[in-house]
Amino acid sequence: ENPFKERIFEVFTNTNEQRQSMDEGICFEEFLEMMSVFSEQAPRDLKVFYAFKIY
């Protein structure tokens, strides 16, 4: 179990869609954004930016 899963969900989901919980999931575009940030090819500054948002 990832202790940061709720924060990751909050950071990468669109807050305009008013999701109530993680049970409702994320849309495909949000999934792609998350995967691009966690990719090995992502720039370090982008990873640092999201690391601080998640923390």
* pLDDT the model gives residue 41: 95
pLDDT band at 55 (very low <50, low <70, confident <90, very high): confident
Per-residue pLDDT reduced to its tens digit, 2-50: 888 888 888 888 765 555 556 677 889 999 999 999 999 999 999 999 9
* pLDDT the model gives residue 46: 94
* pLDDT the model gives residue 1: 84
In this prediction the pTM is: 0.69
44 vs 48: CA distance, rounded Å = 6
- At 7, list the tokens: 């924060």
Domain ranges of the chain: 5-14+25-54
